[in-house]
Amino acid sequence: MAKQRRSLSGKAAAITGGARGIGKATAEALVRRGCRVAIGDVDLALAEQTAAELGGGTIALPLDVTDRASFEAFLDEAERQLGPLDVVINNAGIMPVTPFVEEPEDSFRRQIEINLIGVIHGTQLAMARMMPRNSGHIVNIASQAGKISTPGIATYTATKHAVVGLTEAVRAELRGRAIEVSCVMPTVVNTELTAGVGQKWVKPVEATDVADAIVGALEVPRFDVYVPKANGALIRGTSLMPRAVAEWIGRAMGTDKLMTEVDHSARAAYEDRAAHSKESDRAVN
């Protein structure tokens, strides 16, 4: 029997990295469904501009996901203004593209702090609020790089594998409670994060496609959220194959070149922003 679709009208949601990209598209989709939304971002000015554009009582708050105190203050203020949070979406992240042997230490440390520790902070703090009420929905934006391994983004891939594993373990810990958990795994998304990426090898999706998938998982709860959905069957299928066969299929599809044949000049602005901020938007691969 099909699950009954849940209404999101009147729900309170908090989104990290919400000033741009997937975070902004998701906030817009939730506002259209009557949600009260708080967007957190290290770029407060841009977050305030986004909140004003979205309307619907959307609020913008400062947030550095790598700082637990900052994250807790973000959720506290969101609940003070919007009421108890029904949804927390851990979206913030960065993706430098470089051969692993050449990646500087500050780059891989920054990715671990933002992409993984930021999600750990958000998930743990959301659980602490939702468990006493025995209600809520935690959404962690991972990536299909969390299920497969792509040359050129080794550290990013490691953090996304970790987010998938973290989210699966948290789901198991919450079993028996009325708290939902979803892990969102998009392919390449047309946002600033994937500027210059060899998209001829993989058909990209739009941030609005990811936002629609997130909303769908909130309305009809499910854990695995692949964007596009068909990629889930492909990834599950290749995981059952011998490694040599699965790798051959990947090379035939060009995924081994996706993050190695990039236009670095087109990525310069994004790479510079990611390198000089503590937290940034994730478009996700």
Task: Kindly list the catalytic residues.
Answer: 156
Rounded distance, CA 109 to CA 194, Å? 20
| CA nearest to 203, candidates 231, 224, 184 | 231
Q: Is 203 helix (H, G, I), strand (E, B) or coil?
A: coil
Region for residue 10 given its phi and psi (left: phi exceeds 0; alpha: psi -120 to 50; beta: otherwise):
left
From the list 203, 95, 204, 99, the residue with the least C-alpha distance to 151 is 99
Distance CA 42, CA 62 (A): 6
Residue with tokens 């500027």: 195
Rounded distance between C-alpha atoms, residue 156 and residue 79, angstroms: 31
Burial 163-201 (b: 16+ CB within 10 A, else e): bbebbeebbeebeeeebbbbbbbbbbbbbebbbbbbeeb
* DSSP, res 115: I
Distance from chain centroid for Cα 49: 21
Q: DSSP per residue over 231-269, as a string? A: HHHHHHHHHTS-HHHHHHHHHHHTTTTTTTS--HHHHHH
Nearest to 89 by CA among 159, 150, 35: 35
